[in-house]
Amino acid sequence: MLKKLFSDSLLYGLSSILARIINYALVPLHTSVLSAQEYGTISEFYAYAAFLNVIYTYGMETAYFRFTSLQEQEPSYVFRQILTLLIFSTLLFSSLLYFNSATIASWIGNTEKSIYVEWFSCILAIDTLMVIPFAHLRYQQKAKQFALLKILNILLNVGLNYLFLWFLPHFYSLPVFYNDKIGIVFASNLLANLCWIPFFFPLLKDFRFYWNSSLVQKLFKYGIPILFSGIAFAINEVADRILLKYWLPHHFYLNLNAEEAVGIYSACYKLSIFITLTVQAYRFAAEPFFFAKASDKNSFQYYADSMYYFTLICATMLLGIGANLDWIALLFLKNPIYRQGLEVVSFLLLGNVALGIYYNLSVWYKITNQTYWGVIFSGVAAIFTLVGNYALIPLLGYLGSAITTAVAYTSMAVSCFWIGKKYMPIPYRWTFPLSILLISFLVSVVLHFAFESFTLKTIIGNLLWALVVLILYLKEKDKLLS
């Protein structure tokens, strides 16, 4: 069963990793043609979008998996009911954004950004309406179709960015509206997302609106705690990029304004993507797997083994990235101004590993329908995020935001583990994987701050990484080869 879980993780990971790697082709482009301030504006809007995505979906994706697995309702009725809810709510939310774009733009400090609010009202609408069709693919374990659609979307988005930001400006004399590079980025995103619709037409062509009051009540009862949990998650994930703009003292970086600092931090944040992708891919496969195996007599052992190997894989990746960070940064961050923030990467990597551990641990409250715990754990972490950023941004700049991210996600994992022992005493094996994780993190930090030589740092880092891989192989080779 674990082989099935990790094979599905690889397929979902292939879509996520290839999609993000392809999408990462945008980082060299954007850090070449966009100023740090423009990149900061884009990052700020996507940070707000993270909050809005949670509000738009209000827990219905996870509710879909839960209520289809319960078999209390025909899965097709659950699909129709949730999609009916999302259609009506999406129309409401996007209309509010679109017709109040000028007011919203003034709230975030620039009335000229109202057109970007309008772009995002449409982007969020398409994203939301595609959530349940994509969840349906995951429910049916159609990982290949899921991967293909995600990759095609990213290919189109990247292609449009390169067409309008690089190819056409280099070879043709363009109208003045092409100077709005930020608008081009958002418009490309919208056009790429619209192209999902034809692929889901066979699934959606026979769709009919459906309403079952009893089912709706159950869906809201299950999903609303996930909504609040998701808002807290969004605070943990993206609030730092918003708060930096307002809490960074003007004198902290003498050569930068606040939006430029946000751009640099956001660009360096991208370099934690390798762990983020692993966590995302694993979550896509693990969530339906954990629900499906909830009644299995060996379920606790499956959960424990999953955690063990997941942590070891992520720890190894953290050290590998830390050992090669300088040349990775040269590939992605083309303008040297963006590379001055590389000290944040190790802390962001650790934070994302802690988040992945939390996703593993959260199985107990999802299966026992105690989803309110997710609100509590992520709410506590959100407090860490807000207080930590408030305290550390004035002292450490964007490094303070990175440290706060690591602390906040670690607090979620620790609190979820200790509370979960009472409700579902899963026999996790912690000593070895957490030791490897801590060693990997400390080595990564020391490599960055202790060595100025690019070559020496890379050689020493990769030798230590190879040693850790060898230790893991010798310890686990019998199971790996079985």
Tens digit of each residue's pLDDT (9 = 90 or more) over 422-444: 888 888 999 999 999 999 999 99
Average pLDDT over residues 55-78: 81
pLDDT of residue 5: 52
pLDDT of residue 89: 94
Q: Are 347 and 318 in contact (CB under 8 A)?
A: no
Distance CA(371)–CA(345), nearest Å, equals 31
pLDDT class for 71, splitting at 50, 70, 90?
low
- Percent of the chain with pLDDT strictly greater than 90: 31
Q: Which residues of 192-207 are buried (b: 16+ CB within 10 A; e: fewer)?
A: bbeebeebbeeeeeee
pLDDT of residue 176: 47
Tens digit of each residue's pLDDT (9 = 90 or more) over 288-347: 677 776 666 777 888 888 899 999 999 999 999 999 998 888 888 888 888 888 999 999
Delimit the domains of the chain by residue range. 2-481
- 354 pLDDT higher than 90: yes
Q: Mean pLDDT highest for which of 144-148, 213-217, 346-350?
A: 346-350
Distance CA(217)–CA(224), nearest Å, equals 10
- 241 pLDDT higher than 50: yes
pLDDT mean across residues, the chain = 85
Backbone angles phi, psi at 453, to 5 degrees: -75, 120
Average pLDDT over residues 371-389: 89
- Which of 43, 35, 23 has its CA nearest to residue 332? 23
Tens digit of each residue's pLDDT (9 = 90 or more) over 199-222: 888 888 888 888 888 888 988 888
